[in-house]
Amino acid sequence: MKPFRASTVVLMLLCLMYFITYLDRVNVSTAAEGFAKDFGLNKTEIGLVFSGFAYPYLVLQIIGGWVSDRFGARRTLIACGVLWTVATALTGLATGLATLLVARVLLGLGEGATFPASTCAMSRWFAKESRGFVQGITHACARAGNTVAPMIVAAVMTAYGWRASFYVCAAISLAWVVLWALTFTEHPSDHPRITQAELDSVPAPNAGKPQVPWGPLFRRMIPVTIVYFCYGWTLWLFLSWIPQYFLHSYDLNLKKSAIFASSVFFAGVVGDTLGGVVTDIVYRRTGSLKQARSRMVAVCMLLTLLSLVPLLFMHSLYVSLICLSAGFFFAEMTIGPMWAIPMDIAPAYSGTASGMMNTGSALAAIVSPVLSGQLIDRFGNWELPFVGSMVLMGFGIVLAFRMRPESKFEPGQPVQEKPARASRM
């Protein structure tokens, strides 16, 4: 049997990592039915547990991106993997709200640098023409983690209790860390099975370790970060509350609500994959990053908004399933183009730039679950949180055209402007 190409092995490892990290993030949404009863938590407190992960996750986005740019994705992801494995196991050992929060904060520390680090690896291992697909397929695997998490956790909870579900996830995480450490090399040229044809297709390595121009790069990435916040609000609303939505809004049992939640998340798997494929096709046919990235993001956000509107006027189980699935599908179609944008704009600083962008989603992960829980507690209306998603999607549509992926970031130019101004004074 012909062995896999080295780049294919790298892509498979990254896909597996994305799957596991989201399995470890959203298992708490289904397990909440168990620990909420054990610890007597209300919806606002459950939302706090959901968002506890996001505080260190937010802080470590940019830091983790810089670390991966400077020290490499291999070492960064080994350290991250060990930490999130420990955090997942500690969640199963929690004794109340405080220890749940500690475990979730530790999980955020472990997973904070994962996506910027993997983007750094992708920028070295994959050409620009395939970056949309690579980002789309890896994030599709993340949504596959969302899809199977409710069913896995519900099955383990039914048989062994909610704590056991976290021990199972921790064991899977540890296995990935070992596999990554034994298989991945920082640069394609160092891989023992790399072929010359593969080396010819990947970008040339950067000379040395360039210093990050923090201020200019941050200003360049602000519109991208805000657009990703608008997307992230909907993402974290779905990941945190969809299992509970079907369980309580329609009085389903745990297994049935898990099936409906998994159906919604599966639509995201398809959306991620298709979005990555479409953005690459548009780019190859038009040669325009504006059309392949910005315009595609705007169209998908508009379709997300329209998909969610019927939730406000009809309370029907299958209408909700269709609307939520369609909304999540179109929202996830933005992922391929969005995560390709940091590599388009700043290929030399792709880890740092993607960390800046993902800060938007991390901030949404803090606010969205808690505010949604408060709205549900106060008004008893499970559809009300989706109004915020629709408003922010509308804002994201307008701002998407300010991202300018077709304009490559040139770090030398802003640095040269300051001395010139000073000399005239």
* Helix and strand totals (H; E) in the chain: 18, 0
Strand extents, DSSP E, 275-369 = none
Residue carrying structure tokens 């992801």 = 77
Chain-centroid distance of CA 15 in Å reads 12
Indicate if the pLDDT at residue 41 is higher than 50. yes
Residue 211, SS3 per DSSP: coil
- Provide the pLDDT confidence category of residue 415 given band limits of 50, 70 and 90: very low
Q: What is the pLDDT of residues 87-128, one digit of tens each?
A: 999 988 888 888 988 998 999 888 888 888 888 888 788 877
Residue 320 CA to residue 382 CA, distance in Å, equals: 11
Domains of the chain as residue ranges with CATH: 6-187+221-404 (1.20.1250.20)
Residue 241 CA to residue 239 CA, distance in Å, equals: 6
Residue 402, SS3 per DSSP: helix
Q: What pLDDT, on a 0 to 100 scale, did the predictor assign at position 210?
A: 63
Nearest residue to 142 (alpha-carbon basis) of 233, 238, 24: 24
Residue 97 CA to residue 32 CA, distance in Å, equals: 11
Residue 91 CA to residue 73 CA, distance in Å, equals: 26
Indicate if the pLDDT at residue 2 is higher than 60. no
Q: What pLDDT, on a 0 to 100 scale, did the predictor assign at position 149?
A: 76
Residue 255 CA to residue 262 CA, distance in Å, equals: 11
Q: What is the pLDDT of residues 351-371, one digit of tens each?
A: 788 888 988 988 888 888 778
One-character DSSP codes across 114-151: HHHHHHHHHHHHS-GGGHHHHHHHHHHHHHHHHHHHHH
Taken in order 124, 130, 131, 134, the sign of the CA dihedral is: negative
